[in-house]
Amino acid sequence: MRRVRLTAVGLGLAAIAAFARCGENAPPRPATLVLVTVDTLRRDHVSAYTRPGEAPRARTPRIDALAAQGLRFTDARTPVPLTLPAHTSMLSGLPPAVHNVRSNSASRVARRSARRWSLLPEALTDAGWCCGAFVSAGPLVARYGLSSGFATYDDGGLDDRTGGGYAERRGRDTVERALAWVRAAPQGHRVFLWVHLFEPHDPHPADYRGDVEEADAAVGLLLDGLEAAGRGDASIVLTADHGEALGEDGEPTHGFLLGESVLRVPLLLRARDVSPGVRHDPADVADVAPTLAALAGVPFSSGTASPEGTAGVGAGLDLLAGPTPPDRPRVAEGLHAWHQHRWSQLSAAVVAGWKLEDRGEAASRPRRLSRVGDDLRADDPIAVPAEGRPEAQAPAAALRAYRASESRARDPGGAAPGGYGAGGPVDPFLDPRENARHPDPYEAIEDVTRLGSAATAVLAPPHPERLRAARGVLDALGRRDPGNPAVAFWLARLDRTENRPAEALTGFRRALTLGRQDADTLLLAMRSAMAANDPREALALRIGWRDIAPDDPRIAAVEAEAYGRLGEGAKAREAQARADALTKAKAAEAPAQGCR
C-alpha cells in the first residue's frame, strides 16, 4: 500500500481560474452545501453517540460539536459496506441493486447518457451550482465515475494502475486543497463541496481509535476553514459509507458480512433554520442526495430510475420533509464474498427493529432473524423456518422487492485494473438455491484473515521463511475451498515471486477459470507465459480472455513483446502503437475543471 501526501500549494491560482468560469449572475446571498464522508467510521466511535454510562471509545470533539448544532440521527444505515457502492448510493439516492455499482474497483458509475437517473452534483450543476469534490483514496478516483457533475474532482493523483493495492492521502491534506478551492469561490456563488476522509480505513498506522481522532481533527480544520472563508453558515451533512467490524462475528474489517457494526453509521445534519435535536426515525445514506437537494431548492427524484418508475425499497428520502415511517424498510447487500471468493451472496432487510438475513435458500441454512436496537451488537439471531415468524414477514417482503428492483445486468465493469476489490464485473443476485450451494461467509470468515496474512507475505520483500509459511496457509485453504479464485490467485502470485513461471501460469489460468476475471489476473498470466518462454500462450490468453480488458495498455504492450519474440514485426508494431495510444488516452482522463 502507498500513502500519498499532497498539500494545497499552488492550488489557489488554479481554483481562482476555475471559478472565473462560474458565470456572471451570482445569487443575492451565498449558499453553501457541504458533504463530509468519513470512510469506515463506526457509529460507536463518535462520542456523541456514546450511550449513557459508557465511556467514549474515541475523542471526537469537533464532530460532537457539529452534532450539537444540528440533527443527530440515531438509526442510520448503509445499504452496502463498501466504499464506492455506498458513496454512489449517497450521491444518487438509490440502492446498489438499482444504480448497479456493487463493488470497489471492479464497478463504475455508468455515463450519464447511459442511465435514467442523476447524481446530486449533476442536478446541482444543471441548476447553476459550482460543485467540487476532494477525495482521499483510490476507491473513489475519477475513473470510477462519481466525478460526473463536479466541476472540480480532486483525487490527488491517487489513481494507482499498478494493481494489488490502493493509495490514500492524509485527510488534512485533502481538506487544505478543498479549502483553497472554497476560498477561490466568489462569495455570492452557490457552492456544493464534498470532502472524503479515509483515516479510519484499514490499514491503520497506529490503531483504529487514533485514526478516528485524526479524522475528527481534519473535520475541525474544515469547519474552521469554512468559517474563515465566510461560509461558516454552510449546511453540512456528515456521515460514513460504512463501519468497521473490528473482529465482531470474526470479520477483521468490512465488506464480507452484514453485521450491525458495519451497517450502522453516524449521520449528522446542520442547516440554517433546522433546530438542533435527535431523530430516532429510520434513515439511510441514500437519503443524503434528496435531503441536500431539498436544502438547495433543486428538484431531485431518486425514484425515477427503478424499473417500475417508482421509488421502491431502498430509495432515498428527504429527511427534512418530516420523520420517516417507523416501519420503513431498509435493505443491505453483500456480494463481495461471492465476487472475491465464490462464497454465498448475502442480503438483509430491517423493518421496525427486526433484521432478516438471507444467505441462500436451503433447509440447512435458514434465514437469520434478530432484534436490533441502539447497540451495534444485534441480539443472537434465531433460525427462521420457511414459513417464518410474524416478525420476519415484513423484512422478507422487503428482500423480495429489493431483488425485483435489480437491474439484472452485470455492472459496467471496465474500471479495473487493480486496486481494492478487483476481480472482474460483479454478477447480479444468484438463484437462491444456487446461492445456498456455496460456502457460508459467516462460517468461512476466518479464512479472510488467513488469506490476508498470506497475501501480505507474498507482497512483502521476499523472505524464505515467511513465503514457506504463506504457501502452507494457501495450500490448506485450497484443499478446504477448492473453488475459491482468490486462493488460486495468491498461490500463483507466490509462484511468480519464487520464480516458478510455469506453475504461476497454471495458477493464474485457474484463477481466471474460477471467476477472478480482471485485467490484473490476465496481465499476470500473460507475463508468466512470457517468463516461461511461451509467447504463443501469452497471445492465446489474450485472445481467449479479450472481453476482460479490451483497452488495457499494459496488456497491449505484452502483446507487442510476444509478437516481437515470434518475429512478427508488423503485428508487434501495431500492438505497440495501440499500447501507446491507450496510455495517452488514459493519461488524458480527467473531469472538466471550472463551473459554467
Q: Is 253 within 8 Å of 204 (Cβ atoms)? A: no
Last residue of a domain, one of 283, 298, 321: 321
> pTM higher than 0.95 for the full model?
no
The larger pLDDT score, comparing residue 18 to residue 375, is at 375
pLDDT in tens, 235-278: 999 999 999 999 999 999 999 999 999 999 999 999 988 999 99
Tell me, yes or no, whether 303 lies in a domain: yes
281's grid cell: 426515525
Task: Note down the domain range covering 207.
Answer: 30-321
Tell me, yes or no, whether 160 lies in a domain: yes
Long-range contacts formed by 529-535: CB under 8 A, 24+ apart: 529/501, 529/505, 530/558, 530/561, 530/562, 530/565, 531/496, 531/501, 531/504, 532/501, 532/502, 532/505, 534/505, 535/561, 535/562, 535/563, 535/565, 535/566
pLDDT in tens, 328-368: 999 999 999 999 999 999 999 999 999 999 999 887 888 88
Tell me, yes or no, whether 230 lies in a domain: yes
The number of distinct structural domains making up the chain is 2
Write down the pLDDT at residue 591. 54
Tell me, yes or no, whether 487 lies in a domain: yes
Q: Are residues 307 and 158 in the same domain?
A: yes
CATH number, position 455: 1.25.40.10
3-class SS of residue 134: strand
Tell me, yes or no, whether 351 lies in a domain: no
140's grid cell: 473513489
Closest by CA to 416, choosing from 241, 586, 242, is 586
CATH number, position 284: 3.40.720.10
Tell me, yes or no, whether 21 lies in a domain: no
Kindly report the backbone phi and psi dihedral angles of residue 77, in degrees, each rounded to the nearest multiple of 5, phi listed first: -135, 160
Q: Are residues 56 and 201 in the same domain?
A: yes
Pairing of strands 31-38, 235-239: parallel
Write down the pLDDT at residue 179. 97
Residue 284: exposure state from Cβ atoms within 10 A (0-12, 13-18, ≥19): buried
Tell me, yes or no, whether 12 lies in a domain: no
Residue 51 CA to residue 41 CA, distance in Å, equals 17
Q: Is 138 within 8 Å of 420 (Cβ atoms)? A: yes
Q: Are residues 310 and 457 in the same domain?
A: no
Pairing of strands 71-77, 283-284: parallel
Tell me, yes or no, whether 292 lies in a domain: yes
Which string of DSSP letters, residue by residue, matches 491-549?
HHHHHHHTT-HHHHHHHHHHHHHHT--SHHHHHHHHHHHHHTT-HHHHHHHHHHTGGG-
pLDDT in tens, 390-421: 999 999 999 999 999 987 655 554 444 444 44
Q: Which residues contact 308 (CB under 8 A, 6 or more apart)?
A: none
Write down the pLDDT at residue 380. 76
